[in-house]
């Protein structure tokens, strides 16, 4: 009987693991410590890690993403972190008229030290991506950004998960 249960569980794990894909992102601030992490459940081969040195106009950053240098997640020299999670917002049903001309998260990464500074930029424009973004800083602040708006963190722990 134990062998049958064991084989059933193993079959579910082996055959079921290839069907579900979900990105998970979390940030947590507790007792003066701040953590942020993410997994990218994507089948794109040859993903990259690259470093962008500071310039007179931008903060230094490290990025993680696709071979075409499309950023999946990143953190700058001041501990401002973001990661995208897939979502299925129907942008045609939303009144998004004030878009940023370029990658708004790249702008935030290069110009902002924390979530408070990022919100100054983010609140000026509509977020026009079908994805959602978790933005967190070393001070323990975080926001969830999606085409429907910005949700500020009120608790010590925040996570988002997206099933694709």
112 pLDDT exceeds 50? yes
Span 82-105, pLDDT tens digits = 998 878 777 778 888 888 888 899
Q: What is the pLDDT of residue 85?
A: 84
Of 70-74, 90-94, 137-141, least confident by mean pLDDT is 90-94
Burial 61-94 (b: 16+ CB within 10 A, else e): bebbbeeeeebbbbbbebebbbbbbbbebeeeee
Terminal alpha carbon distance of the chain: 36
| 3-class secondary-structure state, position 7 | helix
Q: Is the pTM of this model over 0.85?
A: no
Cβ atoms of 58 and 52 closer than 8 Å:
yes
For residues 52-76, give the mean pLDDT.
91
The whole-number pLDDT of residue 101 equals 87
Q: For residues 106 and 37, what is the distance between their CA atoms, to the nearest angstrom?
A: 19
- Dihedral of alpha carbons 99, 56, 65, 145, sign: negative
What tokens does 148 get? 């429907």
What pLDDT sits at residue 16? 53
Q: Which of 139, 156, 164 is nearest to 26 (CA)?
A: 156
What angle in degrees, to the nearest 10, is found between the helix axes of 115-122 and 104-111?
A: 140
């Amino acid at each position: 009987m134990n062998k049958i249960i064991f084989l059933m569980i193993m079959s579910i794990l082996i055959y079921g693991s290839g069907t579900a894909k979900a990105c998970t992102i979390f940030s947590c601030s507790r007792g003066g410590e701040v953590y942020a992490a993410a997994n990218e459940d994507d089948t794109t081969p040859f993903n990259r890690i690259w470093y962008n040195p500071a310039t007179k106009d931008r903060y230094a950053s490290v990025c993680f993403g696709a071979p075409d240098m499309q950023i999946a997640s990143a953190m700058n020299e001041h501990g401002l972190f973001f990661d995208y999670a897939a979502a299925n917002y129907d942008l045609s049903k939303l009144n998004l008229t004030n878009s940023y001309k370029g990658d708004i998260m790249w702008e935030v990464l290069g110009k902002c030290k924390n979530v408070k500074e990022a919100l100054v930029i983010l609140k000026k424009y509509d977020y026009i991506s079908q994805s959602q973004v978790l933005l967190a800083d070393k001070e323990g602040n975080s926001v969830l950004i999606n085409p429907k708006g910005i949700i500020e963190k009120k608790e010590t722990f925040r996570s988002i998960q997206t099933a694709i």
